[in-house]
Amino acid sequence: MRVKKEILKNNTIVFTSDDFKICWDSLLLANFVKATDKDTILELGTGCGIIPLWLFDRGYRGSFTGIDIIAEAVDLFQKGIERNEITQYRAVCCDMKEYAESKKYSAVVSNPPYYDVSIKDSKGDNRSVSRSEVSGSLKEASRAASRNLPEGGRFYFCYPAAKTEAAVLSVNMFGFSIKRLQFVKNRLDEAPWLAIFEARYRAGSGINFEKDFVIYDTDRFTDEFKDIIAEGGI
């Protein structure tokens, strides 16, 4: 495994590999999460740990557990924890379908795979598994989140904008109601490509639509997106 070191805005180090890189949707999801140091956060499918490490880089000092079914991903996140000397983070190798901590978390985060690929069709390598629903669909992430959150607990996730209706139906099945929703566009006059959600477990109805997040101003990154991405140009 060839490991690369990435440095975030405030000098937090993230370790990546060819299979587990930093992607825009994870950065946008991390930026959408509202967390205080009193929170206890769980991420389902943590990959290289970019979401918890980005939150740490921006000042979060609460508890965070990142789980992933792929050992290489967990190793990368663990390296980041150790290199940045973070004592309140844990990297755990396990299947989200089996993980349950007696509703101890105040928030769950997940950037679930978007592609419906059967186990038979998957190549079986880390990259294809992590990008396909073989490693855990939004439905499985919602089920796992419901096992680990108390009433009112927050579930943050992102999904293709074109599949917004399917995403809402998936989380509703497990007792979640969408409370915040933000669409992401490449440019102001283009259709959104990503939807980012905050759902609450066993909470009332009512959605707050956030202002659309725009990546480009003509051919340059917007100031808002520049503030999110790591130094060096991800």
Decide: residue 97, CB within 10 A, 0-12 exposed, 13-18 middle, 19+ buried. Answer: middle
Q: State the Cα torsion 79-81-82-86 to the nearest 10°.
A: 170
Q: If you count them, how many residues does the chain have? A: 234
β 213-214/208-209 pair status: unpaired
Helices (H), the chain: 24-32, 50-57, 71-83, 126-131, 138-148, 164-172, 223-228
The secondary element (H helix, E strand) that includes residue 195 is strand 194-201
Helix (H) or strand (E) holding 197: strand 194-201
- Cα–Cα dist 180/200, whole Å: 9
* pLDDT at residue number 205: 86
Q: Give the integer Cα–Cα distance in Å for 168 and 177.
A: 8
pTM: predicted TM-score of the whole model, two decimal places = 0.90
Tokens 């959605």 belong to which residue? 207
Residue 59 burial (C-beta neighbours within 10 Å; 0-12, 13-18, 19+): exposed
Residues of the chain with confidence (pLDDT) below 70: 115-136, 230-234
Domains and CATH numbers, the chain: 4-228 (3.40.50.150)
pLDDT per position as a tens digit, 31-62: 999 999 999 999 999 999 999 999 999 999 99
The pair of three-digit structure tokens given for residue 117, joined into one six-digit string: 């690929």
At residue 80, the pLDDT reads 99
pLDDT at residue number 117: 39
